[in-house]
């Protein structure tokens, strides 16, 4: 499935007025460039809408543009504005940027706290700022572009990035830049049993609850490369969300209409990969007692390479801006078939964190993960002259 992101087209416009009556004002402005951005909906047919995109996940609620001197790495321009409705046209204008003797670096960040963005004075500030998982909401997911470093200083005239033939684009970048989400989305969509053992046939499994462990709580706000790594070397924790499902399944009645979603930050492992922990109880029968077991499996344990928008995106475990659709299946060796406690109280949290099993036995607990892309975002950005 093709991954489609939010498109940004940048244009850096020099504030230059030939009809000004104030020569001093002209002198003050001639070393400045101004970034002007227009946001508008792109019309797409209903058939092109990706069903995996949830309402609000494409929202751009605020947009910050940063311009740094590529030599000194000091900020030479920038602005942040609030978007009240991304479905309508919106213009960000008057963003100053130096057109001095050095090349510049340009980064755009969307849906970040104003208090964080306003504190960025240089490139190091933006590098050290960390996006928080606790800030991510379905209608307010943080996104960013790659870093664009101009090959040459900005001209006093118009400077463009992302425009086609007829424009002198910076670094000959004639295609729009991608604005990519920082979080990934996990969703449990199906649970089933695959029993063939006589002592398990006809018995139900109740899902008491599940949660995610080894979840990264933060990430960098941007990457230098397009769709590059934003993972940080920080501690991980449990997701903080325990889903108590109460779902009951058997061989003839799998759960196929589930939709439990959770956002997580990029975690490419392999030391502490993000994993799911599931508590499940096998029902009692005339000959066998009920049994509660905890299961654990890493999310997306295999390596996947996808060719997306001209880029080979290869990763294992969790990478930003992907959706991981999870289905679970309990096999013949998932349960012993007997239990010394005839009526166990099903706990939600295991007393001891289950050990990491890098290659779980599919006859015990088989976790299948389908990696898909988010839906098309209905916005594009263009120059307004």
Q: Same CATH fold, 184-372 and 6-182+376-382?
A: yes
Fold of 6-182+376-382: Immunoglobulin-like (2.60.40)
Instruction: Give the per-residue pLDDT at 89.
Output: 38
User: What is the Cα–Cα distance from 50 to 57, expressed in whole angstroms?
Assistant: 12
- Give the predicted TM-score (pTM) of the model: 0.81
Look at residues 289, 287, 284 and name the one whose alpha carbon lies nearest to residue 341: 289
Averaged over 104-109, what is the pLDDT? Answer: 91
Look at residues 365, 330, 295 and name the one whose alpha carbon lies nearest to residue 201: 330
Lowest mean pLDDT among 88-92, 114-118, 155-159: 88-92
Instruction: Specify which of 180-184, 239-243, 377-381 reaches the highest per-range mean pLDDT.
Output: 180-184
User: What is the Cα–Cα distance from 86 to 308, expressed in whole angstroms?
Assistant: 25
Residue 358: left if φ>0, alpha if ψ -120 to 50, beta else—which one?
Answer: alpha
Q: Which has the higher per-residue pLDDT, 301 or 36?
A: 301
pLDDT at residue 290 is higher than 80: yes
- DSSP SS3 for 160: strand
Q: Are strands 159-161 and 260-264 parallel, antiparallel or unpaired?
A: unpaired
Q: Give every CB contact of residue 380 below 8 A, 6+ residues apart in sequence.
A: 7, 8, 9, 39, 40, 42, 176
- DSSP SS3 for 114: helix
Provide CATH code, domain 184-372. 2.60.40.3690
Instruction: Give the per-residue pLDDT at 264.
Output: 95
Domain boundaries in the chain? 6-182+376-382, 184-372
User: What is the Cα–Cα distance from 326 to 366, expressed in whole angstroms?
Assistant: 10
Averaged over 26-49, what is the pLDDT? Answer: 45
User: For all residues of the chain together, what is the average pLDDT?
Assistant: 76
Q: What is the pLDDT of residues 200-230, one digit of tens each?
A: 999 999 999 999 999 999 999 999 987 889 9
How many angstroms from the chain centroid is the CA of residue 295?
Answer: 26
Averaged over 31-53, what is the pLDDT? Answer: 47
Q: Which has the higher per-residue pLDDT, 361 or 233?
A: 233
Q: How confident is the model at residue 103 (pLDDT cuts 50, 70, 90)?
A: very high
Percent of the chain surpassing pLDDT 70:
71
């Amino acid at each position: 499935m093709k991954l489609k992101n939010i498109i940004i087209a940048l244009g850096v416009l020099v504030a230059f007025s030939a009809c000004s009556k104030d020569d001093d004002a002209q002198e003050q402005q001639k070393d400045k460039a101004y970034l002007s951005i227009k946001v508008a909906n792109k019309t797409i047919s209903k058939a092109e809408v990706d069903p995996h995109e949830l309402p609000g996940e494409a929202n751009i609620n605020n947009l910050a543009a940063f311009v740094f001197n590529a030599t000194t790495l000091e900020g030479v321009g920038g602005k942040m504005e609030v978007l009240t409705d991304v479905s309508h046209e919106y213009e960000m204008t008057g963003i100053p940027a130096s057109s001095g003797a050095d090349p510049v670096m340009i980064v755009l960040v969307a849906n970040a706290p104003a208090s964080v963005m306003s504190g960025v004075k240089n490139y190091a500030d933006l590098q050290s700022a960390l996006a928080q998982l606790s800030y991510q909401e379905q209608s307010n997911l943080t996104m960013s572009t790659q870093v664009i470093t101009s090959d040459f200083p900005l001209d006093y005239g118009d400077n463009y990035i992302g425009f086609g033939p007829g424009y002198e684009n910076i670094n000959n970048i004639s295609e729009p830049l991608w604005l990519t989400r920082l979080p990934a989305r996990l969703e449990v969509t199906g649970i089933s049993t695959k029993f063939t053992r006589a002592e398990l046939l006809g018995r139900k499994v109740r899902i008491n609850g599940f949660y995610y462990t080894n979840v990264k709580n933060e990430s960098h706000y941007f990457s230098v490369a397009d769709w590059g790594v934003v993972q940080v070397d920080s501690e991980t924790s449990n997701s903080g969300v325990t889903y108590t499902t109460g779902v009951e399944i058997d061989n003839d009645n799998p759960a196929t209409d589930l939709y439990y979603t959770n956002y997580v930050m990029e975690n490419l492992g392999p030391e502490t990969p993000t994993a799911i922990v599931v508590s499940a109880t096998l029902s009692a029968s005339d000959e066998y007692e009920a049994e509660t077991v905890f299961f654990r499996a890493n999310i997306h344990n295999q390596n996947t390479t996808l060719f997306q928008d001209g880029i080979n995106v290869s990763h294992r475990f969790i990478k930003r801006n992907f959706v991981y659709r999870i289905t679970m299946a309990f096999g013949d060796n998932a349960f012993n078939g007997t239990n010394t406690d005839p009526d166990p109280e099903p706990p939600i949290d295991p007393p001891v964190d289950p050990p990491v099993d890098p290659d779980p036995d599919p006859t015990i607990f088989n976790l299948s993960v389908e990696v898909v892309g988010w839906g098309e975002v209905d916005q594009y950005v263009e120059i307004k002259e």
